[in-house]
Amino acid sequence: MKRKVKLIRSTKLLIVISAISIWNVSNGQNFSQLVDITYDFIPHQLSKQEQQEIFPKLDSFFNLVIKDTLTYKPLLKKELLEDGHFPYFYYDGAHLLMMLNKENKKDDDLIIESFKKAEIKDLNPQVFTFLLTKLSLRGANTTDIALSILKDSNFSFFIPEHSFMFGQSYCISYILLPLEQKLYISKLIEEFDSSTDLAKKSILTTLWFGYSCDGDTFLDEIKNDPKYSKDIRQYVSDLQRRKKVEAKTKKFMSDVYGDDLNKILIESFSRFTDEAIGNIDYVTRMRRQNESCQ
């Protein structure tokens, strides 16, 4: 019976791929139907093998659009604006639009709004963090998506090359730190009390890295408020006890990375490593040592 079910599923997949190859999308209705037969699944409800089996039809859809962007890109954007498709389409379709646009930022707002329609638990945390950080560096407001990630306790990924776990707190920091502080500081503070302890630590980490007057005032309040757990209050104390930059560390960083702190910070966001986190921490401590909060 299992073999028969698998055979039926494989046959259905081949039919879908063939349909994509010969689909006549001269009008928007046909393309909308194509979206629905391509993205008719919910990833977290599938086994790993079943997820692997749907990749070919997704590749066929991507190839169809990439080979004739003049025809398909406007149709893709139209469907991203529409409601009613399976949630994964809004992520994958927006990712495709980012690929088509390359460094062109004109559709970034549409991409952000499409990502919001996706289910966070269906997405690869490493890829999604990379895409959101890239959008943040281009000036797109990713705050609301970052807040939704705070609700997913499993949002993290392991870097085997560095034996390093890139936790939720670092993901949130990467996504939000490139933005103007006014876009995310107050929202993180508002989100704090309704968050889990894991998310609270992610918020506190980002506020410490972000170095703002409002953020620092909030850290002081949390550290001294007995309504919060001892673990949370201790976490704030540990953040605030981070040492000033020693002269030998400053010389090493200057020799290796230069003296432009903003450049060091921006370059760090392109790498998911413990070294990059260390560089972000260095920039934060230097700014805390030499600048006034804003």
Number of structural domains (the chain) is 2
Question: What is the residue range of 109's domain?
Answer: 1-123
Question: Both 156 and 42 in a single domain?
Answer: no
- 214-267 pLDDT, tens digit per residue, is 999 999 999 999 999 999 999 999 999 998 999 999 999 999 999 999 999 999
Q: Give the predicted TM-score (pTM) of the model.
A: 0.89
Question: Both 216 and 163 in a single domain?
Answer: yes
Please give the full DSSP string across 162-208, using - where no structure is assigned. TTEEE-HHHHHHHHHTTS-HHHHHHHHHHHGGGS-HHHHHHHHHHHH
Instruction: Note whether residue 130 is domain-resident.
Output: no
- 55-114 pLDDT, tens digit per residue, is 999 999 999 999 999 999 999 999 999 999 999 999 999 999 999 999 899 999 999 999
Please state, in angstroms and rounded to a whole number, the distance separating the CA atoms of residues 158 and 160.
6
What are the structure tokens assigned to 40, written together?
């008719």
What are the structure tokens assigned to 288, written together?
């805390």
